[in-house]
Chains A and B, each alone.
Chain A
Amino acid sequence: MENLQLVFPEIFLSLSIMFLLILGVFKKNSSKLIQNISQLILLVTAIITFNETISISEAKLFSNSVIIDYLSSFMKIITLLAAFLALVISSNYLKIFNIFKIEYPILILSSVLGMMIMISSNDLIVFYMGLELQSLALYVLATFNRDQIKSSEAGLKYFVLSALSSGLLLYGCSLIYGFTGSTNFDVIATQLNTNEYALTFGIVFILVGLAFKISAVPFHMWAPDVYEGSPTSVTLFFTMVPKIAALTVFIRFLYVPFLYLIEQWQMILIFLSIASMLFGAIAAIGQTNLKRLVAYSSIGHVGYALAGLATGTNDGIQSSVIYITIYILMNLGLFSCLLMMKRNNEYYENIEDLSGLSKNHPMLSLSLLIILFSLAGIPPLAGFFAKFYIFKSVLEQSMYFLAIVGLLSTVIAAFYYLRLIKIMYFDKEKEKYDTDHSLWLKFSLTASTILILLYFIFPSQLIDVVSRINII
């Protein structure tokens, strides 16, 4: 008998989704109720997962196809918390755009469920199931504002390109299955035969699929369009939550079955990383839409996270996890600011709309200043430490080229972050924005800013937590 208690968070989440669906059908006008319940569910699931972490070090279930370890628990908790925050701070936005419907939180919950399965997967099929569950929910979310052409276009584009990448991924899975005779990561690891070049093809196809999901260059094309077209609340979700799951799968897939083939995939990862860092930095310079700019900046940040993975060491994995955690924190702050740029029930998302923000809203612009400098990686803010750990682990492996290119692209990236600061602080002010923000929005902005600003006082805490992640 399997110890089902270990997958209790997933079971709880699935049952809740079904319950909410039924509730939504039978109770009229229940969108607010469902919104609140789903927020609660996310929190409760996070707490359950956290409780589990304390007792369990590592366990495998269902013929070793699901793994519960420290990495999975940590990433699940972050996913759940990020999804929770993304949901609570966007409720005002949803109301204004008339998309405050019961389906919205339920879709978010299902995609989170998919991500949790992805994070725990130790088997290609389980992994693919989770991936598709989250992707399908995300396609619908992208088109959620269906009266807008841009939103529909974003969803369709995302669906078509994502389906293509899923196809590549499946092809890679089948190749690997063909050459090792199993879909289980542990079995694959034992069946590896380095002389089979076709196996390498399988790895490459799966990497392409994963790179697509995490929007690494050259598989990033969908990201700017989708980020721009989707409703801001969904963009917020896109930039934060799916990246965690995709990164976890990246870690699991590369380091469990294929650690000994590191020569084969290391170059690919280095390329993905360098291309993403450079391209993200350069392409963001010309953007005028903030959401597009965030898309390019997130491409760049993914590049740094991948640089940590390219090292092939535990330190590298840990630094990537730290990076993604801090990145999510910064993005949360950034989007809280975006969601505050509202005047007469209309949201503004162009760069010029930031103009002179510091005169009208000194606190908002100060927070944004801190967040932007942190994104640019200027000490002593949290973003600097995120990059610092990445480069520390990269340089441990003497990968000087990667480190230098990465640091040079931070200089390029600094340019467009500075441009935003320039517009906020040096330009003429415009009309004031509304200040009647929800409490949660204010809270998330304040909390993320303070955490970013004061991270340097207690940098050890996050490291202590992450250092328990041991894959190799």
Chain B
Amino acid sequence: MNFPILSSLILLPTIGALFLFFTRSSEKNNNTVKYVALFTSIVNFFLSIYLWALFDQTTSEFQFVEDRIWIDNFINYKVGIDGISILFILLTTFITPLCILSINNSIKNRLSEFLIAVLIMESFMIGVFCSLDLVIFYLFFEAGLIPMFLIIGIWGGARRVYSAFKFFLYTLLGSVLMLVAIISIYWITGTTDVVELYKIGIDVKYQNLLWLAFFSSFAVKTPMWPVHTWLPDAHVEAPTAGSVLLAAILLKMAGYGFIRFSLGLFPDASEVFTPLIYALSVIAIIFTSFIALMQEDMKKLIAYSSVAHMGFVTLGIFTLQQQGIEGSIIQMISHGLVSAALFLCVGVIYDRMHSRLINTYGGIVSIIPKYSVLFMLFTLAALGLPGTSGFVGEFLILMAAFKDNFLVAVIASLGVIIGAAYMLWLYKRVVFGKLINNDLKQMIDLNKSELFILSCLAIPTLFFGFYPDPLINTIEVSISDLIETYNFKLVSKF
């Protein structure tokens, strides 16, 4: 019996959370509590690096599979990873320690509860990315709502109650239909094991409805236009660390779900609904980019830009070409890094000035130069400048889109331009220009930990921008195999 490395990855943060739970928190031991959480998440990060090192890139089979009976004759606890999921696990374990590190003074009360929520969240998210059984997947997918609801609701801003409720009910409403679909799949095929389902396939006559049920859940979570409205609210009200988790990891669960389940289980339906996805993606890209252009609130602007970026992701996934899906995954990883960094950047100046409004700022480049440089880097990464990871993803997606549908690709490319416009305009208004607000002069530049966090995010952003090979090598085989089986299943029907 091999060492159950995936279960350890899932369980470790929960054990850390349990430890925090039993240490009484007070103002005094806030630091201890933080170190415990940080230690747990860093150990988890190294464990996942070790996992990546052990990972065999030459096969598309699921690796590190653990299969245990959970409910007799019904559901097995089955986890395993392939090239698609491992990157998301790495992203999760990478972002979480940074998230914990970023909590300096922003969260004063109930720090240990906050950290417990973050750690449990990490467990659930890793669980989502490695579960190989639909019910287990659903369990992790939904369970994540509880800690996130609390993070937004307890530590959020002024309208936190509204946002927390909206977040929770929107996602729950989307997900219950997926539960119906999962149980239906069980009755149609007799199993909920994903690997098994890949082999036997699902009868074409059921696929469309099942696809739509899964879609309703993933579309809300992605979020796709027109069900994206919970995201800006949730982002604006959540504390910085919560926004980071939400943008960097939570949104990726849906993109992952599209690749793993929508494409893998329902190829025929995916073919049928590709135009729908294209339309919604293109609308999301153009429409939300314009909305982003008009935002006064920095967090809201970045939230809308997330919707636009996720539009590219869904577009790329449903081009069903090697480059498209690879591009989508790289775009998701890159968006995870960049949006996390952007939210942290907003958090940095929010901690100092307690305002997220763009017109509070202006001309801060001479006051806090280090910050301005890093913010610049992430702005450029967000608009997809060559040399940053944002470019690689967007470029691959657009390339695949051009092959598949010229019109869609042209419109999506226009979205890139609007994206550049709102990001640069944001940067210009915040960092450059005349220094009008005299309060800004008291601002202090990045302290060590902030500098460290942002650099941690900047390095992979640049590195993968110039040299995306490690990412592509990891996912390549799995994706080509996915597309091959996808096309095979389509052809075999005729």
Contact = CB atoms under 8 A, between A and B. Distances in A.
Contacts of B143: 378-380
B139 to A, nearest CB: 4
A463 interface: yes
Interface in B166-196: 168-169, 172-173, 176-177, 179-180, 183-184, 186-187
Contact of B186 (A379, A392, A398, A426): A392
Contacts of B70: 459-460
B153 A373 contact: no
Contacts of A459: 70-71
A56 interface: no
A408 interface: yes
Interface in A371-397: 373, 378-380, 384, 388, 391-392, 395-396
A414 B168 contact: yes
26 contacts: A378-B142, A378-B145, A379-B138, A379-B142, A380-B143, A384-B142, A395-B184, A395-B187, A398-B187, A400-B180, A404-B177, A407-B176, A407-B179, A407-B180, A410-B172, A411-B173, A411-B176, A415-B169, A418-B165, A422-B165, A426-B161, A426-B164, A456-B139, A459-B71, A460-B69, A460-B71
Given A398-B187, A414-B169, 20 more contacts: A378-B145, A378-B146, A378-B172, A379-B138, A380-B143, A388-B135, A388-B179, A391-B183, A400-B180, A403-B180, A410-B172, A411-B169, A411-B172, A415-B165, A421-B153, A422-B153, A426-B161, A460-B69, A460-B70, A460-B71
B72 interface: yes
B150 interface: yes
B235 interface: no
B371 interface: no
Given A379-B139, A379-B143, A392-B183, A425 B150 contact: yes
Contact of A395 (B69, B160, B172, B183): B183
Interface string A437-467: 0000000000000000000100110011000
Interface size class of B (residues with CB under 8 A): 20 to 34
B149 interface: yes
Contact of B187 (A379, A396, A410): A396
A426 B177 contact: no
B5 interface: no
B177 A418 contact: no
A384 B176 CA distance: 11
Residue with the greatest number of chain A CB neighbours at <10 A, chosen from B149, B169, B176: B176
Given A380-B139, A395-B183, A422-B161, A373 B168 contact: no
B101 interface: no
Contacts of A414: 168-169, 172
Interface in A397-432: 398, 400, 403-404, 407-408, 410-411, 414-415, 418, 421-422, 425-426
A226 to B, nearest CB: 31
In the A-B complex, the 8 residue pairs with the closest CB atoms? A407-B176, A379-B139, A395-B183, A379-B142, A411-B173, A379-B143, A426-B153, A460-B72
Contacts of B177: 404, 407
A216 to B, nearest CB: 22
B169 A373 contact: no
Contacts of A415: 165, 169
Nearest to B209: A400
A425 B154 contact: yes
Contacts of A398: 187
A418 B153 CA distance: 11
Interface in A321-376: 373
Contacts of A404: 177, 180
Nearest to B124: A380
A404 B212 CA distance: 14
A306 B440 CA distance: 64
Nearest to B150: A425
A391 B180 contact: yes
Interface in B276-300: none
Given A396-B187, A411-B172, A391 B179 contact: yes
A459 B68 CA distance: 13
A388 B134 CA distance: 13
B234 to A, nearest CB: 14
Contacts of B169: 411, 414-415, 418
A89 to B, nearest CB: 25
Contacts of A425: 150, 153-154
Contacts of B161: 422, 426
Contacts of B160: 426
Contacts of B146: 373, 378
Residue with the greatest number of chain A CB neighbours at <10 A, chosen from B72, B154, B164, B180: B180
A404 B149 CA distance: 24
Contacts of B150: 425
B319 to A, nearest CB: 32
B25 to A, nearest CB: 9
A380 B140 CA distance: 8
